[in-house]
Amino acid sequence: MHITYFLGKIARALFTMVLVVTFVFVVLRATGDPAQAMLPEDATQQDIEHFRSMWGLDKPLYEQYGVYWLNILKGNFGQSYRDRRPVTDIMAERLPKTVYLMTLSIVFAVIIAIPMGVKAALNRNTFIDRFTMGTAVFGFSMPNFFLGILLILLFSVKLKILPSSGSDSWKHIILPLLTTGLAYIGSYSRFTRSSMLSVLNKPYIRTAIAGGLSRNRVIYGHALPNAAIPVITIIGATVGRIIAGSIVIETVFAWPGVGRLLVTSVGARDLSVVQAIVMLLSITIVTANLIVDILYGILDPRIRTKKGGV
């Protein structure tokens, strides 16, 4: 595949990331004062000034900005005002929790949604199709926080069988997993269905049937490999948005990952933490997009061979 094509993409992605981080850097400082957010109500003027000089907040904005990037180049993402610990340490604790919840949701959704979409396509316009697609639209259009709260009301408050917050046991992951999983199932299964329907009308499917292949061979050996290509793009896009996607769900279920950390850190004006998460968020999106591009090339020989092989 074209190296320059990818270098160009990476350069543009890096540029976007710098813009986003800069924007967040400025906005956070322009809209509130970390010293006031961090220190107790009765802190003296002296305390506040001490806090500011300790974190370099008394310096001009451009100087803070320059120092910030210099540190990053040295691998130093700053300290959390709140925890008095390096941001990297905090992230190392929080990130695995988010990755765990979100990848499990995606895997769960893929396992359910792909057979569901295929089934719906094969039974087009029957009860099965309407039922599965009804469920899909429900999962897709229901806001995460709302569905999450409904599930908490049902399983935690009313039935008292599942915990509503935290991450201490395997039971804790069930509700958040269901909530995010259902949304993913909604979008993956609808994609699988429409992709499958368009593939089933293709001449090569007729060839496979006319050649005498069994129904399963035609569906899983010939139709699905073609139908999967656009579906994988969609899955890749959600993988890229796991950090962004974790914000609401982790807040609703008090799941101790980076999504929730972002929300509390914005409230507390914990600048270094917010900046690090925003940077991570843009990096994951960019990386996932690149991976999807490469995957597309691997899965679709028409693209691969045109670009001269991966």
Instruction: List contacts with another protein (CB under 8 A).
Output: 202-204, 206-215, 217, 221-222, 225-226, 229, 299-302, 305
How far apart are CB 69 and another protein at their closest, in Å? 45
How far apart are CB 127 and another protein at their closest, in Å? 15
**152 within 8 A of 179, measured Cβ to Cβ:** no
Nearer to another protein, 197 or 263 (CB): 197
Phi, psi of 126 (to 5 degrees): -100, 180
How far apart are CB 230 and another protein at their closest, in Å? 13
CA angle (121 as vertex; 115, 125 as ends), nearest 5: 130
Nearer to another protein, 15 or 204 (CB): 204
Nearer to another protein, 160 or 215 (CB): 215
The Cα–Cα gap between 276 and 88 comes to 8
Nearer to another protein, 226 or 238 (CB): 226
Name residues whose C-beta falls within 8 Å of residue 79's C-beta, 6 or more positions apart in sequence. Answer: 55, 85, 86, 87, 272
How far apart are CB 158 and another protein at their closest, in Å? 45
Nearer to another protein, 162 or 213 (CB): 213
How far apart are CB 233 and another protein at their closest, in Å? 15
Nearer to another protein, 128 or 263 (CB): 128
How far apart are CB 25 and another protein at their closest, in Å? 46
* Token reading at 175: 């509700």
